[in-house]
A and B are shown apart, each in its own frame.
Chain A
Amino acid sequence: MKSILAVLVSVLLAACGGQWNNPYPAGDAGQAIFYTAFTERPKHLDPAQAYSENEYELLANIYAPPLQYHYLKRPYQLVPLAAREMPEVRYYDAQQRLLSADAPSQTVAFSVYEIHIKPGMRYQPHPAFVPENLHLSEAALRPVHTLADFAHTASRTVTAADYVYQIKRLVHPQLHTPIAGVMSEYIVGLKDYAAELQQAVKAHPAGFLDLNAYALPGVEVVDDTAYRVTIHGKYPQFTYWLAMPFFAPMPQEAERFYAQPGMQERNLSLDWWPVGSGPYYLSENDPNRRMVLRRNPHYQSETYPVEGEPGDAATGLLADAGKPLPLIDQVVFSLEKETIPYWNKFLQGYYDASGISSDSFDQAVQVGVSGEANVTDAMRAQGISLSTAVATSTMYTGFNWLDPAIGGSSERATKLRRAIAIAVDFEEFVSIFANGRGISAQSPIPPGIFGYREGCAGRDTYVYDCVNGEIRRKPVAEAQRLLAEAGYPNGVDAKTGQPLVIHLDTTANGVGNKSRLDWMRKQFDKIGVQLDVRSTDYNRFQDKIRRGDTQMFYFGWNADYPDPENFLFLLYGPQGKVKFGGENAANYSNPEYDQLFMQMKNMENGPARQAIIDRMQEILRHDSPWLWGFHPKNYVLQHAWLHNVKPNIMANNKLKYWRVDVQQREALRQQWNQPAGWPLALSAALVLLSCIWLWRVLQRREEG
């Protein structure tokens, strides 16, 4: 009753000038809180299992792996996070003799990464660090429903052993680690270690599995603040993995704590309640409603960068240089499944930043005559600004290389694919269906990744011409010519006289996607080829891709790390989906390309690597195994009170750099959300008049 009264009082007080529509508790006022939304509950919060973007949005702010991406500098570069400095790498030959740093990769049998972590880093407060909580009886657990029900929490210093423990967890038999396969190929002894753990779990299926009871030769603790990882051969991309939560420290106490009987029944697990040493910790986890990150009181190891790109200082991005991070105390993620409430709450000032859905695009953004995107006048009047960045992603349409009609390296099939590549106008697609948010791709490699070439030098010469220094898609007549040379003049098979029909498999269906599919059909119509769209559900689509039962299909890829290897491997023969179950969904295979890929993948960035990548891209453009599609552009709107926002596609731990001007936010929210009183008065008057009228009518009827 008291709480109901409190709400009624607060409503009455709010009626005297507050914000009735403020979705946050009154206690939030005046605090440095960043408000944002999530549309889908994360599946995993265990750093060994999480791999999706929405999971990393949280985890990257909770865990502190050895490395991170520099927030301001471009191109993306790795810098130490938990590491004291960048890892020292030593190369050895098969006889364990030390090699020079520039030794050719074929001579390198082992690479040893020695990582020194910053001393004195501490974990978030957590009940797992209280020794009594590692031996809880059923009675002690009875009153516990969430982590907050534990009376005591503690912390401890992060040690190198915790980093080693997490590497061991990558092959834990009860976890699914997406990169377990990749890492087992590289980290010495990891494959055998995984097999040993499997045996151990089979022997003792229940209870806690002590990973430290089994030796992993490729990973060793040097001392409290240093550890070594030995990998097979040379693999420069390994440092990129060190910037991901897979390699964050994990205290063994956490696993012991959550492995106790009764924990899983209470939804208490490492997969839902992370234990990290990063700038924030998860203080509230209700994925049905909201998730809250709070400042880790023990995080003192980092300050705002003091240098960035030229121009960053002028735009105020260095105003907080040298200040201890994080700059925001709390981050509230609220569940918003629908775009309309999300967008309106952003406009009301209840979210600090927002993406832009297609429905709201015209309201938010206007594209200038020279193609540059700006916010509309209405947005500008609210102080909203726009930041854009081309994503390190590619959205492509693959041709199945195993298909007898459209796949393979024959001249006929190659010309047919090139004709389609010219006919399908992705510039138009981006303009119509993505509101211009993307750039047409010239190869798998997106801008910002080593190997990408700007302008005419980087164009696909089989599809585009260079006109006055700008790339232009070749005319449809060229596609028709190629089609005729392939044996299909005007889209008719010259041998059989039958029209050429190409099948496109997609999960897109329903009214929303009809226009896109119709557009695709029209592109094929330009050259007289019939496109048969086979819309299917996700399961059947995946099944078809796995069996190679497709001709064309839509697919996409988000970079794990900013290296061309992470894109070019999508067309590497031994990654073929049908034969090897890899990531090459087109099943493309070209021996020269494969050989160049092996040569390129372990090279340091430089002219020699660029030359090989150029040649690889030329092979791909000649063979045309994909319609390159486009690289999407991310558009983010933010309010004037949010500072230090710079698009960084690779970094997921950006929240710690951002700053909120709380006073400005409060003032503007107040100004934008004044409740309208007249509809209430009008409604009350109407109800009253209706009642009086009805009463009179009834009285007259009774009297009559």
Chain B
Amino acid sequence: MIAYLIRRIFYALPILIGVNLLTFALFFVVNTPDDMARMQLGIKRVTPEAIEKWKEQRGYDKPLLLNSAASGTDKMTETIFWQKSASMFVFDFGYADDGRNISREIAARMGPSLAIALPTFLIGLIAYVSFALLMTLFRGTALDIAGVALCVVLMSISGLFYIIGGQFLVSKLWHWVPISGYGEGADALRFVLLPVLIGVVSGIGSSSRWYRTIFLEERSRDYVRTARAKGLSELRVLFTHVLKNAMIPILTGVVVVIPLLFMGSLLTESFFGIPGLGSYTIDAINAQDFSVVRAMVFLGSVLYIAGLILTDISYTLVDPRVRLS
């Protein structure tokens, strides 16, 4: 398995270079270094000299991909692409255009993002699987039909509605928790309750329906019929056999997203004033801060690849037939 993992990590390198190149191309097709300078310097009393100075100080005065004026390897290295990308492969993200250290920002913002994403993920997983099992248990009854209908209704509602509606009901009308903001340490708990609740509720529809489908498929297998024929109760069949065998498709979808929990949620963080990585990314895009954008895309890619590797490993844990070689 070690050899497999090493091979996967090496496979990841060209993917990361490709993602980096694509991000670079897409960013600079839309924004030139001059645009970035103007965005940072504003529109009042900005002189061409100020723009040149800004670019020079941040290394945006170099050619994008190929420096024909340089010689030897400098042709490649004395470019914006190399200067801004090479250091990322050792996780040195450098500085944002506002002069802040990106690694420190990421470290500081990862906590708040996780404080929302992790409980939402865990509570959500338990809630969705439980609800799906309940619907499976009562398959074909009025409860199952009502559950599916509820899922469809919940799926059809926009995520923004859950947020605004949740803030209105829970914070404005019932005064249970602060409507937005974030606290230090354990004080953060009361700020994350509502976003977590909303995150869980907004995911019930799609996730529970998906899990229900998986469980129903498992229930139709021969081993379930055998278990029933042996006189096992329906509850035991479901929890001991169906749930265990449904783990592979569940893991496929679940483990891959675990590393991405670090990246935060754009909408939730913005509406609840959570200082996480989701809002960091969207702010950087709005401010045309390439240094932050490429760092976040790179980090996202690394975490996604990590998620895929974790998924492969998790297969071996839940299914003894799977071997990584």
Decide if B44 touches A265 in the complex (CB within 8 Å). no
Compute the total of residue contacts between A and B using a CB distance below 8 Å.
153
Decide yes or no whether A174 CB sits under 8 A from chain B.
yes
Decide if A344 touches B167 in the complex (CB within 8 Å). yes
Decide yes or no whether B240 CB sits under 8 A from chain A.
no
Distance in angstroms between the alpha carbons of A504 and B283 in the assembled complex? 29
Given A51-B42, A288-B109, verify A337-B273 contact (CB < 8 Å).
Answer: yes
Decide yes or no whether B243 CB sits under 8 A from chain A.
no
From A7, A20, A182, give the contact of B187 (CB < 8 A). Answer: A7
Decide yes or no whether A455 CB sits under 8 A from chain B.
no
Decide yes or no whether B46 CB sits under 8 A from chain A.
yes
Distance in angstroms between the alpha carbons of A340 and B167 in the assembled complex? 9
Distance in angstroms between the alpha carbons of A345 and B171 in the assembled complex? 9
Contact with A along B274-285 (1 / 0, CB 8 A): 010001100100
Decide if A348 touches B179 in the complex (CB within 8 Å). yes
Given A336-B180, A345-B180, verify A267-B101 contact (CB < 8 Å).
Answer: yes
Residues of the B chain whose Cβ atoms lie less than 8 Å from the Cβ of A6: 186
Q: How far is the CB of A286 from chain B (nearest CB, A)?
A: 7
Decide if B280 touches A288 in the complex (CB within 8 Å). yes
From B185, B190, B283, give the contact of A11 (CB < 8 A). Answer: B190
Residues of the A chain whose Cβ atoms lie less than 8 Å from the Cβ of B48: 581
Chain A residue at minimal CB-CB distance from B32? A539
Chain B residue at minimal CB-CB distance from A585? B43
Distance in angstroms between the alpha carbons of A390 and B99 in the assembled complex? 36
Decide if B41 touches A176 in the complex (CB within 8 Å). yes
From B54, B134, B179, B280, give the contact of A341 (CB < 8 A). Answer: B179
Decide if B175 touches A19 in the complex (CB within 8 Å). yes
- Among listed A130-138, A321-329, A673-681, interface-contacting one: A673-681
Decide if B279 touches A337 in the complex (CB within 8 Å). yes
Decide yes or no whether A702 CB sits under 8 A from chain B.
yes
From A11, A265, A340, A581, give the contact of B164 (CB < 8 A). Answer: A340
Decide if A4 touches B53 in the complex (CB within 8 Å). no
Q: How far is the CB of B242 from chain A (nearest CB, A)?
A: 16
Decide yes or no whether B149 CB sits under 8 A from chain A.
no
Residues of the A chain whose Cβ atoms lie less than 8 Å from the Cβ of B137: 698
Distance in angstroms between the alpha carbons of A536 and B275 in the assembled complex? 31
Residues of the A chain whose Cβ atoms lie less than 8 Å from the Cβ of B138: 697
Residues of the A chain whose Cβ atoms lie less than 8 Å from the Cβ of B230: none
Q: How far is the CB of B323 from chain A (nearest CB, A)?
A: 40
Distance in angstroms between the alpha carbons of A25 and B178 in the assembled complex? 11
Distance in angstroms between the alpha carbons of A104 and B194 in the assembled complex? 68
Residues of the A chain whose Cβ atoms lie less than 8 Å from the Cβ of B101: 264-267
Decide if B57 touches A22 in the complex (CB within 8 Å). no
Decide if B191 touches A344 in the complex (CB within 8 Å). no
Decide yes or no whether A472 CB sits under 8 A from chain B.
no
In the complex, chain B residues 153-193 whose Cβ is within 8 Å of any chain A Cβ = 164, 167, 171-183, 185-187, 189-191
Q: How far is the CB of A664 from chain B (nearest CB, A)?
A: 19
Residues of the A chain whose Cβ atoms lie less than 8 Å from the Cβ of B185: 3
Given A176-B41, A176-B50, A286-B275, verify A341-B183 contact (CB < 8 Å).
Answer: no
Decide yes or no whether A641 CB sits under 8 A from chain B.
no
Decide yes or no whether A538 CB sits under 8 A from chain B.
yes
Residues of the B chain whose Cβ atoms lie less than 8 Å from the Cβ of A701: 234
Decide if A698 touches B271 in the complex (CB within 8 Å). no
Contact with B along A579-605 (1 / 0, CB 8 A): 001010000000000000000000000
Decide if B104 touches A266 in the complex (CB within 8 Å). yes
Decide if A288 touches B279 in the complex (CB within 8 Å). yes
A51-B42, A338-B270 given; name 11 further pairs at CB < 8 Å: A20-B177, A181-B45, A264-B95, A288-B109, A340-B167, A341-B180, A537-B30, A538-B35, A539-B31, A539-B288, A542-B43
Question: Chain A residues in contact with chain B, CB under 8 A?
Answer: 3-4, 6-7, 11, 19-23, 25, 41, 43-44, 51-52, 173-174, 176, 178-182, 264-267, 269, 271-272, 286, 288-289, 334-338, 340-341, 344-345, 347-348, 350, 537-539, 542-543, 581, 583, 673-676, 679, 694, 697-698, 701-702
Q: Could you pull out 6 A-B pairs where Cβ atoms are within 8 angstroms?
A: A264-B101, A344-B167, A344-B172, A539-B288, A676-B174, A694-B134
